[in-house]
């Protein structure tokens, strides 16, 4: 088993390669793998490295600790200025693009919470494996951020009524609901999640490689224009919300409440 990674990504994303399957773990367990800039850049770098390796035939994405990824880092998001929105959210767009561009199977092993940007990463993957602890959803609206990119990814998996419900309420779904809706392709006990995801990745990697590449490429082609349109709309929507001050107010209140629960001083 190999455990090294490109130095620029090693802190944010760890890797294991075994029998042709690379497991990439988001590595901020104390923050529930919230996606800060370092994490976003690390994911892009790690995916690029794995995509170019001949000894890697498939990739599994998962989170260290008890969460897949609990959305964007709130302290970082709170400090975003309206004029910074495009560059800030552009890093998240780069993550989605990197997953889409990998011409090998990408399987999300959804351990615990996958919320917001974490939920969306799981939706961008080719397949998803869940477990009883899985919780998935699109809670951006509760943080003062419009569900624009998230509603786009959900539109590729869900009907309009369910998409609107999840976008407007921001509620999280349990594993059973996710599987019923088809958002999870397979389920496994928590302790067997990675093994099941590896098995699924290996199963897909065993398909004729050029046929798989061409099939995935076609799915990418037919959704690319809509993806780019959703990014532009998300930038405009987020910029308007930041100009109104809603995300900053909501996140400041949430961070203060969290610090109070932990007995920390505001910082």
pLDDT in tens, 115-125: 999 999 999 99
Selection from 100, 103, 92 nearest residue 42 by Cα: 92
The average confidence (pLDDT) of the chain is: 94
29, pLDDT greater than 90: yes
6, pLDDT greater than 50: no
In a domain, 200, yes or no: no
63 phi and psi angles, rounded to 5 deg: -115, 145
How much is the pTM? 0.93
Domain of 218? 13-190+208-262
Classify the C-alpha dihedral 214-216-222-225 as positive or negative. Answer: negative
169, pLDDT greater than 80: yes
Rg, C-alpha atoms of the chain: 18
Residue 261 pLDDT: 81
Tokens representing residue 66 in the block: 């008890």
CA distance 37 to 8: 12
Residue 263 pLDDT: 75
Q: How confident is the model at residue 255 (pLDDT cuts 50, 70, 90)?
A: confident
pLDDT single digits (tens) 73-130: 999 999 999 999 999 999 999 999 999 999 999 999 999 999 999 999 999 999 999 9
- Report the CATH number at residue 114: 3.90.226.10
143, pLDDT greater than 80: yes
Helix axes 37-51, 85-101, angle to 10 degrees: 20
Determine the 3-state secondary structure of 24 from DSSP. strand
Angle at 242 between CA 92 and CA 173, to 5 degrees: 55
CA 56 to the chain's CA centroid: 21
CA distance 97 to 95: 5
In a domain, 32, yes or no: yes
What is the arithmetic mean of pLDDT over 184-188?
98
Residue 258 pLDDT: 79
Residue 219 pLDDT: 97
Tokens representing residue 213 in the block: 């590449």
Place of tokens 């800039």: 37
CA distance 21 to 120: 22
> How deeply is 110 buried, as exposed, middle or buried, from its count of CB atoms within 10 A (0-12, 13-18, 19+)?
buried
Residue 10 pLDDT: 58
Q: Provide the domain count of the chain.
A: 1
Q: How confident is the model at residue 266 (pLDDT cuts 50, 70, 90)?
A: low
Classify the C-alpha dihedral 51-56-61-63 as positive or negative. Answer: negative
Helix axes 117-124, 85-101, angle to 10 degrees: 30
């Amino acid at each position: 088993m190999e455990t090294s990674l490109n130095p620029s990504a090693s802190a944010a994303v760890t890797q294991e390669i075994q029998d042709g399957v690379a497991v990439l773990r988001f590595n901020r367990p104390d923050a529930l793998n919230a996606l800060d800039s370092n994490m976003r850049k690390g994911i892009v770098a790690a995916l690029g490295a794995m995509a170019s390796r001949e000894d890697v035939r498939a990739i599994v994405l998962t989170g260290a600790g008890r969460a897949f990824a609990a959305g964007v880092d709130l302290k970082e998001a709170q400090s975003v200025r309206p004029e910074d929105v495009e560059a800030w959210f552009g890093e998240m767009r780069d993550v989605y693009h990197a997953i889409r561009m990998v011409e090998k199977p990408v399987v999300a092993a959804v351990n615990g919470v996958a919320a917001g940007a974490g939920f969306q990463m799981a939706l961008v993957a080719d397949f998803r494996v869940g477990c009883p602890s899985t919780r998935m959803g699109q809670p951006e609206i509760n943080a003062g951020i419009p569900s624009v990119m998230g509603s786009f990814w959900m539109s590729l998996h869900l009907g309009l009524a369910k998409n609107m419900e999840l976008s407007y309420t921001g509620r999280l779904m349990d594993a059973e609901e996710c599987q019923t809706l088809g958002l999870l392709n397979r389920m496994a006990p928590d302790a067997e999640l990675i093994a099941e995801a590896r098995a699924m990745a290996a199963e897909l990697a065993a398909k004729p490689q050029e046929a798989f590449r061409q099939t995935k490429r076609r799915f990418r082609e037919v959704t690319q224009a809509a993806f780019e349109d959703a990014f532009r709309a998300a930038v405009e929507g987020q910029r308007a919300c930041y100009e109104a001050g809603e995300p900053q107010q909501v996140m400041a209140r949430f961070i203060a409440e969290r610090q109070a629960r932990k007995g920390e001083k505001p910082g």
